[in-house]
Amino acid sequence: MPDVAQQLGLPVNRVKQMLRDRKLLGVQRPDGSFGVPAAFLVGDQVVRGLHGTLTLLYDCGFTDVEAMRWLFTSDDSLPGSPIEAIAAHRCSEVNRRAQALAF
């Protein structure tokens, strides 16, 4: 958490609030530590479009772990993983796929 807060230039409490508000996603690692993937951060900001995609995934009933897995699973129709597409400013394509998960 301190590393993420430092990179974003925010206090640790603000990063924790972003996690609670589901504007950012992190998961508990097997060793017990908590991590936020570096792919979610670009410079001193959260990847643009991540929050909207997370909202769609949560609305579909995904847990944090399931959302993380989905974001990093390769999808030949994108191509690449959803997080790679989001980082490449192709949020609309990713969000269409996320919306389709609800049906």
Residue 45 is given by DSSP the state: E
pLDDT single digits (tens) 41-94: 999 999 999 999 999 999 999 999 999 999 999 988 888 999 999 999 999 999
Predicted TM-score (pTM) of the model is 0.88
| Helix (H) / strand (E) containing 99 | helix 91-100
Q: What is the pLDDT of residue 103?
A: 61
For residue 31, pLDDT over 80 is answered with yes
Q: What is the pLDDT of residue 79?
A: 85
End-to-end Cα distance, the chain: 35
Q: What is the pLDDT of residue 46?
A: 96
Q: What are phi and psi of 27, to 5 degrees?
A: -140, 160
The residue among 33 and 47 whose pLDDT is bigger is 47
